[in-house]
Amino acid sequence: MTVNWQRTAAFAVAAFVLVVAAGVPLLAVVLQGIARPGGGGELFTARALELFTGSILLAGQVTSFAVLLGVSLGVVLGLGRIPGRRVWLALHAMPVFLPPLLLALGWFHLLGREGLLGNVQTSEWLFARSGLVFVLGSTLTPLVTLCTFFGVRGVEPALVDAGRIVARPVTVMARIVIPLAWPAMAVGALLVFTLSFAEVAVPMFLRVQVYPATVFARLGGLVYAPGEAAVLALPVVLLALVIVAAERAALRRHAGALSARGDRKEPLSFGAWTWFAWALVAAGVILSSMPLAGLLVRAMRENGFSDAWARLGTTAENSLLVACVAATVAALLAAVIGHGLARGSLLARWIDALALAAFLTPAAVTGVGAIVTWNRPATAWIYGTMAILSLCLLGRYAVVAIRVFQAGVLQRPVSHEEAAAVGGAGYLHRIAGVVVPESWRSLIAAWLLCLVFCLRDVETAILLYPPGGETLPVRIFTLEANGPEPTVAALALFHVALTLAALALLAALARGRRTA
């Protein structure tokens, strides 16, 4: 009885927190959108439909770009004989942990009219749909690369060896590795599709009209119409639910698809294709590094760093504060829900689905929900303070922590917990005494990765930051329009440094795990 009571209580608390942070705002959007009189007329306009289909098409183009490069690169780095593969992977993956706006700024300093490599033609190309596909594609490709990398590392080495005996490495990749690792790749592609569809800051910067930006526009600037925004958000929520279902289908029988269980000692040699493998690696690293180099050169040219330091104010502290609070609560939730997911709990699957839906819904939409839910006198102590940011970031990124911890727990034998249970340990004792001590690196990794995602969020912070609570990405976004370019570039690099510090800790953890 004690065991069940403890587990039920832990799940109830976790579910309550996530329902408040993610479920209520989503429900509020849906209810407000459905109940609004004349909502159909606002939704089914030719302009809205055109923007919606255009944004879907754009997300499809970005996803195709990312899959084409990311799958090849993930397979090459995951299984190939590429010296220094982890360094190349880290350099390539860096952009995915940064606000895409920073990368767009970097490309602007390279390809803009007065950019290092730019002229009128490159500028026209960048400030158009083509430029948007390129910037989002190069920024989000590492998601597919990372998913593919972990997916192919999860393929049993013997299955690859069995193929290698009879077929060339390229055939083994195409006929055995990719068919076995497709769930991981599909998840990567879904993530890219979702994030590119949800992106608002980069399309606004590159002056390309997209559907989520119309929702966003109803909450700022000259028009403040949260009701209309809620109506326009309805198809986006529906799309997010479809993607949740697709993700579930992809991972239905492959819960450990991203766990990289395989212990491959002998990397594959590509023979005559080695030059192509290295060309792919070089392309991936160059695409990821160039915009950061563009920012660096721009910031150094006119002493942007000293001005940026003066303009930094408390924005970095604010960013860290809200991100730390959200990540800490998310890690605590992950210890319950992530563990439950790994051990096949149905309730954990439902809670995870809610968290995933909140992650997949564009920030512009969850922002509408947060405003509708919390912008009232009784909850001013939340809405008028930094708590609203932490709460919304928690709702949006809890799934990151949950999935990371789930992957960690999946690699630990359930028998250890069963042994503790046989010895009389209740649920909480098993979590605190067995699960967390065994998977503490995964828990810290969950915290750090959630922190990084909270730090990279621009849209939620722009919509909801309280007076005096401006975060660093918000300062960059607002200064970008009229501020001095070197200062904005330097501020962007401060953000990069902040993220790099968190990622360095993650890397140290990963290294410790490999040598342990």
Partner 1 sequence: MTVPAIEVRDVSVALGRVEALRGVSFDVKHGEVVAVAGPSGSGKSTLLRALLGLTVPRSGSIAIEGQTVSRDGRLIVPPEQRGLAMVFQDLALWPHLSAAGNLEFALRVQGVPRVERDRRVSAVLARIGLSDKAGSRPSALSGGERQRVALGRALVQEPRAILLDEPLASLDVLLRAEMLSFLRSMLSDRPCPVVYVTHDGTEAAAVCDRVVVLESGRIAQTGTLAELAGAPATEFVQAFTGNIRREHV
Q: How far is the CB of 437 from partner 1 (least distance, A)?
A: 29
- Please state the closest distance from residue 186 (CB atom) to partner 1, in A: 14
Does position 175 interact with partner 1 (CB under 8 A)? The reply is yes
Q: Which is nearer to partner 1, 256 or 484 (CB)?
A: 256
CB of 182 to partner 1, least distance (A): 9
**Beta bridge pairs of residue 268:** 80
CA dist 117 and 189 (Å) reads: 31
Applying CB under 8 A, the span of 173-181, 210-218, 234-242, 351-359 interacting with partner 1 comes to 173-181
Q: Least distance to partner 1 from the beta carbon of 277, Å?
A: 16
- Residue 271 CB-density burial (10 A; 0-12 exposed, 13-18 middle, 19+ buried): exposed
CB of 259 to partner 1, least distance (A): 16
- d(CA 74, CA 144) in angstroms, rounded, equals 7
Q: Please say which residue, 176 or 347, places its beta carbon nearer to partner 1.
A: 176
Q: 163 or 369: whose CB is closer to partner 1? A: 163
- Would you count residue 167 as binding partner 1 (CB under 8 A)? yes
Q: How far is the CB of 153 from partner 1 (least distance, A)?
A: 17
CB 66 within 8 A of CB 144: yes
> Which of residues 162, 223, 225, 414 is near partner 1 by CB under 8 A?
162
**Spatial CA neighbour of 14 closest among 359, 358, 380, 399:** 399
Using CB under 8 A, pick the residue from 1, 46, 120, 158 that binds partner 1. 158
| Count of chain residues binding partner 1 (CB under 8 A) | 20
Name which position in 180, 190, 239, 488 contacts partner 1 (CB under 8 A). Answer: 180
**DSSP strands (E only) in 456-516:** none
Q: Report the residue from 156, 282, 381, 468 that binds partner 1 according to the rule CB under 8 A.
A: 156
Q: Are 116 and 294 in contact (CB under 8 A)?
A: yes
C-alpha triplet 108, 114, 116: angle, nearest 5° = 70
Which listed residue (41, 46, 83, 265) binds partner 1 by CB under 8 A?
A: 265
Q: Is 163 in the site for partner 1 (CB under 8 A)?
A: yes
Shortest spacing between CB 513 and partner 1, in angstroms: 18
Contact 342, 258 (CB under 8 A): no
Q: Is 179 in the site for partner 1 (CB under 8 A)?
A: yes
Stretch that binds partner 1, among 157-165, 273-281, 326-334, 442-450 (CB under 8 A): 157-165
Q: What are phi and psi of 209, to 5 degrees?
A: -75, 125
200-239 residues near partner 1, rule: CB under 8 A: none
Q: How far is the CB of 278 from partner 1 (least distance, A)?
A: 19
Question: Does residue 159 belong to the site contacting partner 1 (CB under 8 A)?
Answer: yes
- Nearer residue to partner 1 within complex by CB, 124 or 161: 161
Query: Among 429, 406, 348, 336, which Cα is nearest to 10's?
Result: 336
Q: CA of 87: how far to CAs of 72, 290, 379, 408, 493, in Å? A: 17, 16, 47, 22, 20
Is 168 near partner 1 (CB under 8 A)? yes
**Following DSSP, what letter does each residue of 62-90 receive, concatenated?**
HHHHHHHHHHHHHHHHHHB--TTHHHHHH
Q: How many CB atoms lie within 10 A of CB 261?
A: 15
Distance of closest approach, residue 162 Cβ to partner 1, in angstroms: 4
Stretch that binds partner 1, among 226-234, 265-273, 461-469, 489-497 (CB under 8 A): 265-273
For the record, the structure tokens of 388 come out as: 């609203």
Helices (H), 253-386: 274-301, 304-312, 315-342, 346-360, 363-374, 380-383
User: Are 242 and 248 spatial neighbours (Cβ–Cβ below 8 Å)?
Assistant: no
Candidates 46, 120, 166, 310: give the one binding partner 1 (CB under 8 A).
166
Q: For residue 268, give the 3-state DSSP assignment.
A: strand
Shortest distance (Å) from residue 473 CB to partner 1: 43
Task: List the one residue out of 301, 307, 291, 297 whose CA is nearest residue 491.
Answer: 307
Q: Is 129 in the site for partner 1 (CB under 8 A)?
A: no
Q: Which is nearer to partner 1, 121 or 269 (CB)?
A: 269
Q: Per CB under 8 A, which region of 35-43, 176-184, 200-208, 423-431 contacts partner 1?
A: 176-184
CB of 156 to partner 1, least distance (A): 7
Site for partner 1 (CB under 8 A): which residue of 271, 377, 424, 467? 271
Q: Does 161 bind partner 1 (CB under 8 A)?
A: yes
Question: For partner 1, which is the closer residue by CB, 177 or 454?
Answer: 177
Distance CA 401, CA 408 (A): 11
Whole-angstrom distance, CA of residue 516 vs CA of residue 498: 28
Look up tokens 């970097």; give the residue.
106
Is 48 one of the binding residues for partner 1 (CB under 8 A)?
no
Q: Would you say 46 or 272 has its CB closer to partner 1? A: 272
CA 33 to the chain's CA centroid:
27
Name the minimum Å distance from CB 252 to partner 1.
14
Residues 67-126 that bind partner 1 (CB under 8 A): none
* Alpha helix stretches (DSSP H) within 127-264: 129-153, 157-164, 169-172, 178-198, 201-205, 211-217, 226-250
User: Residue 368 and residue 174: Cα distance in Å, rounded?
Assistant: 44
Answer whether 442's CB lies under 8 Å from 459's CB. Answer: no
Residues that bind partner 1 (CB under 8 A): 156, 158-159, 161-168, 171, 175-176, 179-180, 265-266, 269, 271
